[in-house]
Amino acid sequence: MIDVEDLIALVRNYNPRTNEDLIRRAYGYGRQMHDGQFRQSGEPYFTHPVAVAAILTEQRLDDATIVTALLHDTIEDTKSTYSEIARLFGEEIAELVDGVTKLTNLQLSSAQSKDAENFRKLFMAMSRDLRVLLVKLADRLHNMRTIRSMKPEKQAQKARETMEIYAPLAGRMGMQWMREELEDLSFKVLNPEARSSIMRRFVTLQRETGDVVHKITADIRTELEKAQIEADVYGRAKKPYSIWRKMQEKDLAFSRLSDIYGFRIICADVADCYRILGVIHQRWRAVPGRFKDYISQPKNNGYRSIHTTVSGRDGKRVEVQIRTRQMHEVAEAGVAAHWSYREGVRVQNPFAVDPGKWLTSLTERLGQDDDDAFMENVKLEMFTDQVFCFTPKGDVMQLPRGATPLDFAYLVHTRIGNSCVSAKVDGIRVPLWTRLKNGQSVEIITAEGQRPQASWIDIVTTGRAKAAIRRSLREEDRGRFVKLGQELTRAAFEHVGRRSSDKALRTAARMMGLADAEDLLARVGAAEITARKVVEVLYPELALIREGEVDPRRPVAGLSDDQTFRRAACCQPVPGERIVGITYRGQGVVVHAIDCPALEEFEEQPARWVDLHWHSGRHAAVHTVSLDLTISNDSGVLGRICTLIGDQKANISDLRFTDRKPDYYRLIVDVDLRDVEHLHMVMTALEAETDVAQISRHRDLSRKP
């Protein structure tokens, strides 16, 4: 374990004005609080906070952050309290320690159902003071470096969480070195065989070709000396996980993988960057499509550099990054460069940005989204690289990799996106699902009256576009949902012998915290609230009394004891729908839905009509309804459809195809349901499935009694 004087010496190397007494007191306090505690490895627990502090000194961070690292587990794991830390070390440090404690207590594993809610809390905490995140990332890095002392199942859980959350977060904050190490440490746990295989292939490659990195580095230095440019040149083989990811993405064997070596050229100023680029391209052949100028178009996290890939020695592809020393500091430290100290004062690096502004704007922009949408949009914002495209006027638009012309349109303006009908890329008309590339010019073609389509959700990549499309679709569907909600609530109120009046609905909306009765009906129609819940809010005593199970043998009220009944095959009425009975000699009563067209032939025979209604309560799922579906002819689609129906606790009693085409199937699915709400839940779930082109209730008037 590093002793306190060695730790102070590490801080003093970049900050001679450090408050040595503050660090000594924090070191002593932390050691005392953790006395008697041990890590899984058997080491004293305090070795961990000290190691975290040492990692942060490598980023030349301020005293408050170093002290926070020493104390970051005291509130959670010892008898220490927020007020005591505030009294001993000040409010700023107490706030930072408390922030790290809250981050630690968030369960961010993707297996957690409350993942999205906790992710929102994570971003809110980070936006208040990003130093909290710096301590947490260093804490996770040291835990991953010492993960072998944990139980195997705990190792796997931590590694997955690191790979999915913390490594991309470090990358988004510009701390690429930390991202790479976190990914590789996680890779070592999650797929040790693959990592070992790559390491063995590297050894074999070096034995066959010699030290390629040293040779190419020497070649670059020679060319720079000829051009009389002073610069430092560094080369390295890429990390095993980075190579593995390329192999998976490109579906290539190791022997066919190119650009597994990377080189950095660090120079004095921007002019030298472009001079060096010219030297590299004159000496080696550039690989088309592999040039990126992040100096003229920086990333959101402040990253600036020129990237180019060339065919080097023996035709091997190598990636070359060219940047100034100040740019390199930001590229290495990322967000930490904003707090970095040198000679006792904050470094004024012109390229360092405060990602806290990005986090704040992100949380404000996504603050109105539900948890699932927030989670999706944050990941889209955080885990993607960028491409730069141009408007017809020459304005630069920054988009995530994989973005489409639709994303471009919504980035220009929501109105442009909503009315988009087609696009031209570099003057050529292209489909809306085309993936944009760096440097392309994009022209959006709009039409009055055009509205977003549901299929657009799967085309766009950005959270902004997805949110705008969903909002437009919700507004368009609102009228349909309100009408459906009226029918569902009417049926639910009739179940308890009440009438669904405007006043009752307004009262229920107020009690449920909704804007008005229309909002209530829209939510019922969209299956966000059940009609039964509305009744329970207004009439809890009636809802409880009538909540018993209905006898599936006699679900219909209004029949005499000696009358038999059956549901009409033409309209297949279900509980919750208004019904009427028609008597048949020797066949009992056939129950029809009140709007069944088959009833027209009995208009002149009023004696055969029987006034019926469904018994109140919970009906068994024995009422078969036929659904007419049109689905994509693709592998796995039918299986997903069946799974969706099963997820709604509905049973498929029959399934038959009515039409088969190369690109779609039509089929009729018989589903056993409880009532009209159950039917609506199933149809809504199927309607939301991308591969379901059309769904309707199948009515066969030829199947008369």
Mind listing the pLDDT tens digit for each residue in 494-545? 877 788 889 899 999 999 888 899 889 988 887 778 888 898 888 876 654 4
Report the alpha-carbon angle 609-614-618, nearest 5: 165
CA distance 128 to 121: 11
Sheet of 623-632, strand order: 651-660, 664-673, 623-632, 692-697
Partner residues linked to 346 by β-bridges: 341
pLDDT of residue 113: 37
pLDDT of residue 373: 56
Tokens 């109120």, located at residue: 493
Name the amino acid, one letter, at 613: H
CA distance 61 to 131: 9
pLDDT of residue 543: 52
Choices 1.10.260.40, 3.20.20.80, 3.20.20.70, 3.30.70.260: CATH for 560-705: 3.30.70.260
Q: How many CA atoms lie within 13 A of 655 on its CB side?
A: 11
143: nearest Cα among 58, 18, 247, 45: 45
Domain boundaries, the chain: 4-190, 194-343, 471-545, 560-705
391: nearest Cα among 401, 383, 399: 399
CA distance 78 to 69: 15
pLDDT of residue 338: 61
Q: Give the β-pairing of 565-567 and 651-660.
A: unpaired
Token pair recorded at residue 418? 């909503």
CATH number of 4-190: 1.10.3210.10
Measured distance between the N- and C-terminal CA atoms of the chain, rounded to whole angstroms: 87
pLDDT of residue 110: 43
Q: How many CA atoms lie within 13 A of 434 on its CB side?
A: 18
pLDDT of residue 664: 85
CA 3 to chain centre: 42
pLDDT of residue 545: 45
Token pair recorded at residue 417? 């996106």
| Residues 363 and 127: beta-carbon distance below 8 Å | yes
pLDDT of residue 544: 47
CA distance 669 to 642: 9
194-343 belongs to which CATH class? alpha beta
Q: What is the DSSP letter of 618?
A: B
Instruction: Please report the DSSP string for 530-591 in residue order.
Output: -HHHHHHHH-HHHHHHTTSBP-TTS-EES--TT--EEE-TTT---TTS-EEEEEETTTEEEE
Q: What is the DSSP letter of 164?
A: I
CA 673 to chain centre: 34
pLDDT of residue 211: 73
pLDDT of residue 638: 87
CA distance 249 to 401: 14
pLDDT of residue 41: 84
Q: What is the pTM of this model?
A: 0.55
CA of 268: how far to CAs of 218, 277, 302, in Å?
20, 14, 18
Strands of 162-304, DSSP E: 232-237, 261-267, 285-286, 292-293
Token pair recorded at residue 561? 């004891």
User: Mind telling me the catalytic residues?
Assistant: 76-77
CA distance 553 to 549: 12
CA distance 499 to 120: 42
pLDDT of residue 111: 42
Q: Which residues of the chain have pLDDT under 70?
A: 105-128, 208-210, 248-259, 300-301, 312-315, 335-386, 541-548, 703-705
